[in-house]
Structure 1
Amino acid sequence: MDAPYFPIIYVRGYAMNAGERDETAADPFCGFNLGSTTYRATPDRHTPPKKFIFESPVLRLGSDHGYRDIYENGLDILDPDWAPPVAHDGTQEPGIGARSIVVYRYYDEGSRLFGDGQADTIEQYARGLSDLIGRVRDLVCARPANAVAPADFRCYLVAHSMGGLVVRAFLQNPDLGDKPLRKSVDKVFTYGTPHNGIDMLGLNVPKWMGANDINNFNRERMAGYLGIAGSPVYTRSQRVDLLPPSTFPASRFFCMVGTNRGDYEVAMGLSRTFSGHGSDGLVRIENATVWGANAKGDAVEPAACAYAYRSHSGTYGIVNSEEGYQNLTRFLFGDVRVDIWLDIDGVTLPEPLQGKSDIRALYQIEFLASPRGKRWYLTRRLAEEDSPACRTHQELTDPAAKDRRSIYLSTVFLSNSARVNRERPSLAYAMTLNVRTPDYQQVKSFWPDQHYEGNFLFRDTAVIELVPPKVAGEAWQFTATWQGQPVASARADLSFKQLKQGKVQVLVPFENAKSPGIKGKVRLIVSGWNEG
């Protein structure tokens, strides 16, 4: 197989009723072929949309990376009755190529077009995914040009919404699939998946709400089909967004998170109303990611994630977006991985509050990363879009809360094939960091609390640049420079051996020495990605 170009299996999201399942069954790509010509530049819905042509992920994977679908003469090659056409010389080419796009059409049998119109269970969909991966493996291995044995077969799973839960049920629950097939999954990418369930009006959807399978997003029900009910991973925290050890590594998992609820029009806008601020219109931001857990049930490793000002679906949806596509292809095919953390060393209060006790404030951490020369962001976290990372004043000053001062922000993948300027060989992106607090409050027992206006404690953009070596095997050159500083804040030589076999940590310091102020470091954990 031509690593890292393995078969991609798409798993679509939730269809509420028979009509939606019919619509899904009538589409050859179950919606993944939809494009977009508009995007929102700001959270203000009254601002006219800007024009930006995105041709759909399926089309772009074909034009950019040589992928093709598995339909031939109106037939699905995955059908057991399909036979390869006979060429003029009488020969047949069995199987399929490694660069194939496969759509898991699990709603066909639940439609009124091809089935009985009744939806099935998540468990059954997970077993069907296992069978589908086995069929794809057999077809890829059947083609001599691929030169791959079944034990060496690899594939990618890309899922939207509930499709991500189908994927996790297959990967995590040993009763829902074949173990060798689980091991063949190389990476998982999810768009807007409710990994920790769906909350409406602040409450998790109840288990008894079985109409239209809405209880698929109840955490107790999820713990059952994810295979974690009764395990420390679930019983300790009641969270279902954790990947237990020995199931699937969080380092191979990517979560694309939408932050625009305003453009989600499902149920005449009731969904976005009930899900509230800090959501994509259906899934709350805090529920859309996963973490790797240890045997005790502690969250210890975040899956890679990125944020986009996109809604759960629709014209401004996260699947048919440039942001989603660029993160997908860099995650699947990229060369360098950069996990971005923020370590806060200390904060300084306004002068009137220095030395005072019982101070309350909420620090909002905004973060944006954009490739050089592009108009879109690989990740975008802003307070106005309800997506900043937040910490309280107590968390940043109490010695007992020291672990809360290291904050995971996002992961960026860089790709040599995505360079804009071919005359400039470096991989580069702009990293914007803003830290602000709306106000400070001094709590008084017998007198009215005192309030002090807040502001930005830090605002700057750093250019991160990695220059690949001119001679294979030599070191990469890394620099990070804040625009407000005349010289580079960090430099490092990243050897090929370090990048391939481990992780290199680079610290980019930042400081605002004024009052109020902040001091800390952006911690970039750089590692090689994919073979070679």
Structure 2
Amino acid sequence: MESIPPLPEPAMSSQDKLPIIYVRGFAGDTSGINKAVTDPFYGFNEGSTHVRVGPGEKPTFHQFESPLLRLHLDEGYHILVEGGQESYLDTHPEIPPDSIWVHRFYDASATSWGAKPREFRLEDAATDLLRLIEKIKAKSGAPRVHLVAHSMGGLVCRCLLQKVLPDRGTDPAEHVDKLFTYGTPHGGISFDVGFGVLERLRDTFGIQGGDIFGPRRMYAYLTPDAERRGDEPPDDWDARAIPQGPGRFPVRRVFCLVGTNPADYEVALGMSSAVVGARSDGLVQIDKAAVPGSHGAFVHRSHSGRYGLVNSEEGYQNLRRFLFGDLRIEAELTGHRLPADPEVSWQAEVLLAIRGLPVVVHERQAAHWCPLALPKAAAEGADAPPVPLATTFLRTDLPRPAGSPTMRYALHVRILSLRSNRRILSFGDHLEQTADFADSLVVDVGSGAAPGIWATWNSLIPGTIKDHEPQGSPLTDEDPAAGRWVAHVPFPETTRPLLGEQARLRLSATPWR
């Protein structure tokens, strides 16, 4: 029997877990900073009661306790406060490694404490974050920490990883194990209106400190001193990128959660999403919200508010599995040869559902402005380049339905064609909301006494998915290398005129944690 790579021991003790540090987003001017510092956990203790599912597409009640409380309840993490978390650290010689901390970098810039406030600089927030990490490591005995950041907080973390630590000659991986970002503007913030005038005004005058989202300031705080080539970023510089190589933070240890719902940011905060456009979470544009090469997921949530990313079940489930998962499963479309009609373009829609969760953990749809564009082959008779569809992280230690030896998830795949004539969409033979291919791959991952991976298309399953049990031997491992398992799942025969004879969905499994 072919088996998946050896997994860590399922049960995680407190010594296996690393401290988690939360880093909040942009507060704006002094009044916004003063408001932020009144919250004991900078907003990460906020939950929600609304979710956009239910009869008639009306919001329904779903109580999400908050990411801090859920990590305490689900993972046993300690939230330690005695007059202040900094005070707790200063007065206790030891702390448990499975503990949660909030980087309160805005406190020094608030006027409500009576002292002269310090002007906020992102580089100072990153340097202060390093001091907090060093103190937590020393008192917990943990080798590294996890960083979890919302919005601008992700840029504070990247400043630490890409500039502060390299300037000191320190490998950032010695301090940080994983970085998870919610709605971080990794590529800055730009606008769909004003023809660039709004960005130039913001970056020239630093209105409310917003120039930190412009290329000039981003280049300054994301680039080590030894690599700076003047004040202006070079033409080939990409703010989203984390350079790789010796002494660099591995991009595969980064997860970017991307929001695709701009409307609810406007409803929640009284701000218009029109200035950044529909392809956004209401503040950060979709194509600027992820680090190239990182892990990630798209969810139909807004930047913040009652339908926000941070206080969402979708965000928490992705965070929990990325930090504590045992197994990384990746899915790619390979070997496909779409019909070579120059007037037709192709898109894929993907949803990822994990058994036992009330939400999908990854969702890319045309209606949310984020379908996957399917490239065509470079030459006649050649396969198109592989297309990554989704990555998920599974937990062997989480409860499963009684009698089920496997972890299960489903990958929903829809492939759609768009016909155009001189770049104008043609609807002569169009059927709205109708895909040329639509099916779900049901994947079962076994462990313990029943290792292996089984995969079956939903269209081939008789009856309900709930009653489906994997049959026969698991898929054969096609990769001879140790520590990685790979198999290719053929598409249903009916797709051959569409996708070609060799189209496959490639599944890859590697240990994680």
Give the TM-score, by structure 1 length.
Answer: 0.81
The 5-angstrom pairing of residues 272-311 of structure 1 reads: 272-291=273-292, 302-311=293-302
Q: 2:91 pairs with 79, 83, 101, which one?
A: 83
Q: Give the alignment partner of residue 78 of structure 2, picking from 68, 74, 77.
A: 68
- Aligned equivalent of 1:312, options 299, 303, 306: 303
- 2:499 alignment partner in structure 1: 518
Structure with more strand by fraction: 1
| Secondary structure of residue in 2 paired with 1:158 | strand
What does residue 124 of structure 1 align with?
Answer: 124
* Equivalent residues in 2 for 1:367-378, closer than 5 Å: 367-378=350-361
Q: Is the 8 A contact 1:11 1:103 kept in 2?
A: yes
Q: Which amino acid aligns with 2:219?
A: A
Q: Report the Cα distance in structure 2 between the residues aligned to 1:220 and 1:24, rounded to whole angstroms.
A: 27
Determine the C-alpha separation between the residues in 1 that align with 2:220 and 2:473: 47
Partner of 1:211: 207
1:417 aligned counterpart, secondary structure = coil
- Within a 5 Å distance, the mapping from 1:342-353 to structure 2 comes to 342-343=333-334, 345-348=336-339
For residue 463 of structure 1, the aligned residue among 430, 436, 442 is 442
How far apart are 1:384 and its partner, in Å? 0.9
Quickly say closer, same or farther: Cα 1:435–1:223, change in 2 above 3 A.
same
* Contact map agreement 2:24 2:150 (CA 8 A) in 1: yes
Letter in 2 for 1:287: K
Task: Give aligned-pair identity as a percent.
Answer: 34
User: Are the counterparts in 1 of residues 26 and 151 from structure 2 also a CA contact under 8 Å?
Assistant: yes
Task: Give the unaligned 5+ runs of structure 1.
Answer: 85-93, 142-147, 292-301
* 3-state SS, counterpart of residue 316 of structure 2: helix
Give the aligned residue type for 1:522.
L
Task: Give, as a single letter, the amino acid of the residue that structure 1 aligns with 2:161.
Answer: L
RMSD: 3.2
**374, 383, 391: which one pairs with 1:411?**
391
Partner of 1:144: none
CA distance in 2, matches of 1:361, 1:223: 39
Q: Are 2:20 and 1:5 aligned? A: no
SS at match of 1:215: helix
AA in 1 matched with 2:57: T
Further displaced range: 179-188 or 207-216: 179-188
In 1: Cα distance, 2:329 partner to 2:263 partner: 31
How do 1:121-520 and structure 2 match up within 5 A? 121-141=121-141, 153-173=143-163, 174=165, 179=170, 182-201=173-192, 205-206=199-200, 207-227=203-223, 235=234, 237-246=236-245, 247-265=248-266, 269-291=270-292, 302-343=293-334, 345-348=336-339, 359-391=342-374, 395-399=375-379, 405-437=385-417, 439-443=418-422, 452-454=428-430, 455-470=434-449, 476-485=451-460, 491-492=474-475, 502-510=483-491, 513=494, 517-519=498-500, 520=503
Corresponding residue pairs, total: 474
Q: Is the 8 A contact 1:123 1:176 kept in 2?
A: no
User: How many angstroms does 1:101 deviate by?
Assistant: 0.3
- Aligned partner of 1:22: which letter? N
SS of equivalent to 2:128: helix
Compared CA separation, residues 449 and 248, structure 1 to 2 (3 A): closer
Deviations 1:226-258 (A, max 9, x none): 116658xx7463311111113111111101111
Supply the distance in 2 between the matched residues of 1:61 and 1:494 (Cα, whole angstroms).
Answer: 35
Cα pair distance change 1:401/1:260, threshold 3 Å: farther
Distance 1:362 1:9, change over 3 A: same
One-letter identity of the residue aligned with 1:407 = V
Deviation, structure 1 residue 367: 0.5
Residue of structure 2 equivalent to 1:24: 36
Secondary structure of 2:491's partner?
strand
Q: Which amino acid aligns with 1:282?
A: L
Does the CA-based 8 Å contact 2:314-2:360 persist in structure 1? yes
What is residue 50 of structure 1 aligned with on the other side? 60
Q: Deviation digits for residues 122-179 of structure 1, max 9, x if unmatched?
A: 11111111111011112113xxxxxx6xxxx121000000000010110011466672
Distance in 1 (CA, whole Å) between partners of 2:238 and 2:472 is: 39
How far apart are 1:506 and its partner, in Å?
2.1
* C-alpha contact 1:482 1:488 (8 A) present in aligned 2: no
* CA distance in structure 1 between the aligned counterparts of 2:179 and 2:63, rounded to whole angstroms: 26
Higher RCO structure (Cα 8 Å, ≥6 apart): 2
| Counterpart secondary structure, 2:314 | helix
Q: CA deviation at 1:378?
A: 1.3
Taking the aligned partners of 1:331 and 1:263, their CA distance within structure 2 comes to: 26
**1:299 matched to which residue of 2?**
none
Structure 1: how far apart are the matches of 2:337 and 2:105? 52
Contact between 2:191 and 2:275, CA under 8 Å: does it hold in 1?
yes
| Alpha-carbon contact 2:264-2:307 (below 8 Å) kept | yes
CA–CA separation in structure 1 for the residues paired with 2:436 and 2:166: 51
Specify the SS of the correspondent of 2:91.
coil
Q: CA deviation at 1:181?
A: 6.1
Q: Which consecutive residues of structure 2, in runs of 5 or more, have no partner in the other structure?
A: 1-12, 462-469
CA offsets, 1:367-398, max 9 Å, x none?
1111113320111111111121123xxx4143
Distance between the aligned counterparts of 2:125 and 2:86, measured in 1?
Answer: 20
Asked whether the equivalents of residues 171 and 249 of structure 2 are also in contact (C-alpha less than 8 Å), the reply is no
CA drift at 1:518: 2.6
Q: Report which stretch shifted further, 256-265 or 484-493.
A: 484-493
In 2: Cα distance, 1:312 partner to 1:450 partner = 34
